[in-house]
Structures are given as C-alpha cells and as structure tokens.
A = this chain, B = another copy of it.
Amino acid sequence: MTKQKYKVAIIGASGFTGSELARLLSQHPNIEISHITSESHAGKAFSELHPQFLGMIDQKLESAAVIEEAELDVLFLALPHGVSMDFVKKWHHKGSKIIDLSGDFRLSSPEVYQEWYNKEHVFTEGFEKASYGQPELFAEKIKQSNLVANPGCYPTASILSLAPLFAENMIQNHSVVIDAKSGLTGAGVKASENTHFSNVNENFKAYGVGEHRHTIEIEEQFSCLSDGEVRVQFTPHLLPVDRGILATSYAKTKKLTTQEELTKLYEDFYQDKPFVRVKTSPPSIKDVRGSHYCDIFPFWDKRTERVIAIAAIDNLLKGAASQAVHNMNLMLGIEETAGLNQIPLRP
C-alpha cells in the first residue's frame, strides 16, 4: 500500500473540536497530519495538552505562522467565531482547501452575519465562495468547493430532523418548534461559571431563549430547501452529559399523512446517506456517542396532526469534527465513508 497521503493541518488545537479532529484524522487511511497549531501552547507536545493521546499523537504544537510556507491539501480551522475569518482571508489564495468549523461563513450574507453575531465581517467575498457543508444535502456543491462552512452542531441535528419534509414542501412554514438539548462540551473548553461542574451536574436549563445564533442558520437552510421564508422557534437546553445533541422537532404539515407514508419519506430521502439511520423508536444520544451517525425517528401524531421528528447526534462529531472529515472526503474525491467507521461507544 504505497498510497499517497493527503497533507492536512489543524488550526487551533486547544479545544474539543481540535482534539477530536486530531483523533479522527490520525487514523484516517488517506491522511497525514502535517501540522497542528496553537498560539497559546506552541512548543508543547499535543499529548501534553490532551494527555489521552500520549504515545499516539506526540507531535509538537506550532504557531499558525508555519502554515504560510506549508504546502497542504486541506486546512481545518477549529477557531472561535470572528477569528476564523481572518485566517480564511489570509489563506484562501493558498490553494489549500479550507474547512471552517466556526460560524463565520455559514450564513447567507455579511448583513445577516452582522445582525446575529454583532460583529462586522472582514472577508465578505467569502460568502460567495463558501458552501454549507451538510453532506447529506449538498454533497455535489461541497465536492466543487474550496471553502466549506461546517454546520453548527444544533443546526445539523435540527436540519436533518425535518429536511425530508421541507424538501417535499410539506411543512407549514411558521409552525416549526425545535426544542434542542446539548451536552456540555457544546459550551467549549473554557472554564467559566457556565462550565463549572456544580452548575451543570444534576442540573438542566434552557438558555439563549429566542435569540440563539443557530436559529438563523436553521431557518436559512430550511428556506433553501423549501419555497418561501421559514421561521423557526428554536430553544437550546444544557444537558448534564459530555456529548450529544437531541433535537425534538415539531411541525404542522400542509396535508395530513400517515405513519407509513412518513417513515417511507424519511427512508427514501436518506437511503443513500450512509450515516443517517431512520429509526422506529425514539433515538438516544448514547447510541450515537463517539460516532458520525445521526439517528432520526419521525413520528406522526394523528391526534394532534403534527409531525414530531427526533434526531440524535454526537455534537463533537456529526455536529463538528466528523462532519468536517466527511466534507473533506467529498472535497478530495475520496471514499465518502473513509475514516468514519467508528462504532458508537456504549455504555
């Protein structure tokens, strides 16, 4: 097997997404990790920052400056919102494909970005270039792209939960309520009152009610899929677990359906999508933990004449790192499933 490996770099290694990218890419059959960068930890071994990797990924962390001179096939930007765009601006001419895991290029325009992120965008041309990296919906566009905006964690679960219905134009546009729940890693690696164990453990609450940024990301994608503007009620909650998102999505349909029709619609829509599993009972976040799967249960409540579609993903994987790898596979033209065969870790 003298297969040539693609060279990639992970920009920003201190967070959860960076470490999960390293875990996946280090075991990907077609990939070699050339650089992992961290400004605050440059010089340390990656495994010093993330001790679970000791003996597996001990390479040194470098400053992002090394990327300037490097010849790389793919750059993964695992950086905060508002920081990522600087690097895309600087590196988009380099000839490397860029997968941006921040929110900087997920929305439709600089104006919408500014409204929801309260920040001026420094690289407005990027919006034209960027594809929205939901592989189950936009694989053909992603294959042609050099810049992919990796979807948010909540949007991934939310969009996949109702996409088959929106694609068939079956949903009443203003009826959608998405009640979503995420594990704590969604709040990031930074120590704060919000991530203190005693505020999370044995606790549960909603946050960002009526104003979370993922709302607009979900709405724009649903609007793309269907005709007309979609407005979504999206409420995130914080679960006392490390990983996992469960989105419980409610919608009124334009016409009545049956459980059989609904199930068939979902099965048909996802039949060639290797990482979506349509289920006949409510999914659990632990059944997808550590994997790239999205489990979905579509339910027709004939009593209330509503669809309830429940989707479960691992927020750090299907909601971030493994989705980025999936996008990379598409962009490089290699097998879609390469490096993504992790079986969920349960219990």
Contact = CB atoms under 8 A, between A and B. Distances in A.
A288 B290 CA distance: 14
Contact of A197 (B200, B282, B289): B200
Given A26-B343, A195-B196, A198-B184, A250 B177 contact: yes
Contacts of A295: 54
Nearest to A22: B343
B202 A286 contact: yes
Contacts of A203: 241, 244, 284-286
Contacts of A192: 191
A95 interface: no
Contact of A301 (B174, B184, B210, B299): B210
Contacts of A197: 184, 195-197, 200-201, 240, 242
Q: How large is the interface on A (under 10, 10 to 19, 20 to 34, 35 or more residues)?
A: 35 or more
Could you say which of A23, A177, A204 has the most chain B C-beta atoms within 10 Å of its C-beta?
A204
Interface in A31-74: 50-57
A59 to B, nearest CB: 14
A279 B206 CA distance: 13
Interface string A273-295: 01001010011111111110101
A209 B310 contact: yes
Contact of A51 (B55, B287, B301, B308): B287
Interface of A: 16, 19, 23, 26-27, 50-57, 174, 177, 179, 181, 184-185, 189, 191-193, 195-207, 209-210, 231-233, 235, 237, 239-244, 246, 248, 250, 274, 277, 279, 282-291, 293, 295, 297, 299, 301, 303-304, 306, 308, 310, 312, 316, 341, 343-347
21 contacts: A27-B341, A51-B284, A52-B287, A52-B346, A54-B279, A56-B341, A174-B304, A191-B196, A197-B242, A201-B201, A202-B243, A203-B244, A203-B285, A204-B284, A204-B286, A205-B312, A209-B301, A237-B246, A240-B240, A240-B241, A316-B347
